[in-house]
Amino acid sequence: MTQLADRFHFLARTGGRDKTPVRATAPSVGGTAAVAVLRLYDPIDSWGEWFGVSAKEFAAVLDELPATTTTVELHVNSPGGEVWEGLAIYNALRQHPARVVVVVDGIAASAASVVAMAGDEVVMSPGAELMVHDAWGLCVGDAAEMERMAADLSRESQNLAGLYARRAGGTADEWRDVMRAETWFTAEEAVASGLADRVDEDGDEEQAATARARFDLSVFAHAGRAAAPAPHTPAPAPAGSGSTPLQEGSRAVAFTDEQLTTMRQELGLGGDADEATIVAALTEALAERAEPSAPSPTASLPEGTSLIETATLDELRADARAGREARTQQITDRNDALVRAAVDDGRIPPVRADHWRAQLAADPGAAEVLASLEPGTVPLAAKGHDGDHDGAGNDPVADVRESPVYRNWRV
């Protein structure tokens, strides 16, 4: 987050320019599949238009994609911008039903690196760079206001650290240390850290350097990877370690104790088999049923294997569906209760309720962030003052606080 003058600072190299449209090419359709190619080639800014790309503009482009779109290929060359706008774009991509492939063509710094984390696959072009750092902000007011702003920035930075940890492994605290150091990554270093999946060997390194040169990076502590120290990051999660988060749209399955007992018996599992073991055995049984082999009439079943009657299998399927639906409703009800409680005790304003419901649905870890907010932060009753501050009916402090500069900090 930067001051007003820095809305223009990123673009100081080029002066007047034409904004790159988000939707650079129409979706190319082949058969029943479609690939939509989008570009984020500007700062991320709630003002949109000339200043950069807003979350509203980006979401509008996503909404225009045809229902046949199966892959969204987002090319990124952006120095970042406002934290809330970046998060909104991140969540819009995560909530889209299509597979998302993020390709960093030049630079994905600050809030743009948060957007990149939304990809089901993150690809670095040769010579491309990625940067993570703590949130910035602008505050006008007394010591209490400054302390409140510092707490807000710290909470938001911790939230972003959780997104990096979710993709790369490690903990949010470990990635917060990486952010405090303003860490820059080459394409290869981004892959080694776990933030990206691969380097596009067919890419053009010179083209990536030209793309990065669009922006004046002197606003940062280090003006690019060449001016920054080597990155020190948590070790990436090993393949198959189980630390990879669930894909968007996956659901937890909840069963009653009676259902679990029945499934253990029918699947020939021990009495201590947990839900994951039961689901794995049931999946295997369903796969075998889908491609049956013709058994010999006298063939015996392998030891530890049991047959499941069709009626029992159908009942298990119905129970599984009911469990998924019940669990989904349970999570929705819990999230609604958490948001209502936060509004009631003044941790968040009512207008942010829908935002927090979306955050909780996309990332269960957001519940910890919501719980950490201090009660009474949002006044529950009107607070007066002693009248005009300038004798003309104007309140200059209120004017500052209501301005877009004060209300929107940048990453």
Give pairs for 301-309: CB < 8 Å, separation 24+. Answer: 304/268, 305/268, 306/266, 306/267, 306/268, 308/266, 308/267
Q: Which two tokens stand for residue 381?
A: 């009753």
Distance in angstroms (rounded) separating the CA atoms of residues 252 and 229: 42
* Torsion angle in degrees (nearest 10) through CA of 220, 138, 376, 180: 20
Distance in angstroms (rounded) separating the CA atoms of residues 151 and 139: 12
| Catalytic, out of 46, 78, 110, 113 | 110
Active site residue 243: no
Q: Report the relative pairing of strands 121-124 and 129-132 from DSSP bridges.
A: unpaired
Closest by CA position to 40, among listed 115, 110, 120, 134: 115
Distance in angstroms (rounded) separating the CA atoms of residues 100 and 57: 18
| Catalytic, out of 9, 75, 96, 133 | 133
How long a stretch of residues is the chain? 411
Active site residue 193: no
Residues annotated as part of the active site: 110, 133
